[in-house]
């Protein structure tokens, strides 16, 4: 990660009508990485993204896209950016092609051939000459990404891109985003309120709550720390007693025991149970829910 950052956000704050909505957010995106922006509804993800793309002006703080300051060097900064903020809202009375042509014309550096490229990339060739009003949400989402990719950006920003998509659509989107980062060396900022989504497509993640980033880390680190082991064993009280001599144990809802995941010690714990006469029927690891993560990183504060 010695490359120069694609997107730098530093000490961003925003006050709306006397209310501090964003309270000093900082993070950095490097080329080729998918960065997750994770937080519950109302945490300030969209507000932060609107500032990055220049739709609203920050109360303080700086944003640099490809090294260019969004405030002082708007057009150059925007040349390196593609985005969808909230829903992919395109002109419903124009065809997909006309929509793309419309946005391509706004940047003279985009050659006409680029249209066909992005259409092929998002797989919309069949329906591109139909009106957008006849498109499904998934197709609009893809057309939205196509318009974002027109100017060969360095940074792609997608605000809750899987919102409203069906499971197949979500998986498709996820793979597509990874592919873009890998093959085009694009930095992608993806916001979401679902941990499951972020963990499957992102390299690093920033957790935002009530307008502040409370943790930025690689997905692996974050999850490993919080990963649990679910035990099914008989008799339960004995198993609990033996395990609690080694680590902290909580009882699950369906007659299971839950401990932290500690890879080097796990075989020892198991051995101890077996030797103590406990039948271990099942051991499986479980990723924490967003709620668990939040409880952990905020030190017991609930997410709403």
Partner 1 sequence: MINLVRNEMLKLLRKKRLYVIVLIIAFLVPLFTYAQFKEIQDQREKLGNQDWRTVLQQEITDTQNRLSSSRIQDEWRKYLKIRLSQQQYYLENDIDPRAPGAPTFMRIFVENSIDLLLPLLVMVIVADLVSSEASGGTIKLLLTRPVKRWRILLSKYLAMLLSVSFIVLSVAVLSYGISGVVFGYGGWNMPLLTGFSVSGDELITDNVHIVPQWQYILMEFGLVWYVCVIVGTLTFMLSVLLRSTAAVMGIMLASLIAGAILANMVSSWESAKYFFMVNLNLTNYVSGMATPIEGMSLGFSMSVLAVWGIAGFIIAFVTFSKRDIY
Give the range of 21-29, 90-98, 190-198, 237-245 binding partner 1 by CB under 8 A: 90-98
Nearest position to ligand ADP, beta carbon: 46
Q: Is 46 in the site for ligand ADP (CB under 6 A)?
A: yes
Residues 6+ apart with CB under 8 A from 144: 84, 88, 90
Regarding 86 and contact with partner 1 (CB under 8 A), the answer is yes
Q: How many residues bind partner 1 (CB under 8 A)?
A: 31
Do residues 283 and 258 lie in contact, with contact meaning Cβ atoms separated by under 8 Å?
no
> Which residues in 42-71 contact Mg ion (CB under 5 A)?
46
Strand partners of residue 35: 189, 204
Task: Give the residue nearest to Mg ion (CB).
Answer: 46
Please, which of residues 30-69 interact with partner 1 by CB under 8 A? 50, 53-57
Q: Which of 3, 4, 11, 41 binds ligand ADP (CB under 6 A)?
A: 41
In the bound complex, what is the minimum distance in angstroms from residue 10's beta carbon to ligand ADP? 19
39 binds, among Mg ion, partner 1, ligand ADP, none (CB under 5 to 8 A by kind): ligand ADP
Interacting stretch for partner 1, rule CB under 8 A, among 74-82, 181-189, 234-242, 293-301? 74-82
Residue 21 near ligand ADP by CB under 6 A: yes
For the CA atoms of 196, 202, 205, 211, what is the dihedral angle to 10 degrees?
A: -70
For the CB of residue 165, give the shortest distance to ligand ADP in the complex, in Å. 17
Which of 33, 160 has the CB closer to Mg ion? 160
Interface map 119-158 toward partner 1 (x if CB under 8 A) = ----------------------------x---x-------
44: partner contacted, choices Mg ion, partner 1, ligand ADP, none (Cβ within 5-8 A by kind):
ligand ADP
Given candidates 98, 130, 225, 296, which one binds partner 1 under the rule CB under 8 A? Answer: 98
User: Which residues of this protein are in contact with ligand ADP, per CB under 6 A?
Assistant: 16-17, 21, 39, 41-47
User: Which residues of this protein are in contact with partner 1, per CB under 8 A?
Assistant: 50, 53-57, 74-76, 78-79, 81, 83, 85-87, 89-94, 98, 102-103, 105-108, 147, 151
């Amino acid at each position: 990660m010695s490359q120069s950052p694609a997107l730098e956000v530093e000490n961003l704050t925003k006050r709306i009508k006397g209310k501090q909505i964003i309270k000093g957010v900082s993070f950095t995106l490097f080329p080729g990485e998918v960065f997750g922006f994770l937080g519950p509804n109302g945490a300030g993800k969209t507000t932060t993204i609107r500032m990055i793309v220049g739709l609203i002006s920050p109360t303080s703080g700086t944003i640099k896209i490809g090294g260019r300051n969004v405030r002082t060097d708007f057009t150059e900064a925007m040349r390196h950016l593609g985005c969808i903020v909230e829903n992919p809202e395109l002109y419903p009375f124009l065809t997909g092609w006309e929509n793309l042509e419309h946005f391509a014309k706004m940047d003279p550096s985009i050659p006409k051939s680029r249209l066909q490229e992005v259409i092929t990339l998002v797989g919309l060739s069949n329906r591109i000459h139909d009106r957008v009003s006849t498109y499904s949400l998934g197709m609009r989402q893809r057309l939205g990404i196509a318009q974002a990719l027109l100017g060969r950006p360095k940074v792609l920003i997608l605000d809750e891109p899987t919102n409203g998509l069906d499971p197949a659509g979500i998986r498709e989107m996820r793979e597509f985003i990874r592919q873009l980062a890998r093959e085009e060396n694009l930095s992608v900022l993806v916001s979401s309120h679902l941990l499951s989504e972020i963990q499957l497509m992102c390299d690093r993640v920033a957790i935002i709550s009530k307008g502040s980033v409370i943790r930025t880390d690689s997905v692996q680190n974050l999850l490993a720390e919080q990963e649990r082991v679910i035990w099914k064993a008989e008799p339960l009280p004995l198993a609990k007693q033996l395990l609690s001599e080694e680590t902290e144990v909580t009882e699950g809802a369906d007659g299971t025991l839950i401990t932290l995941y500690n890879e080097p010690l796990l075989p020892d714990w198991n051995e101890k149970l077996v030797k103590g006469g406990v039948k271990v029927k099942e051991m499986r690891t479980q990723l924490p829910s967003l709620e668990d993560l939040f409880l952990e990183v905020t030190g017991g504060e609930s997410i709403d």
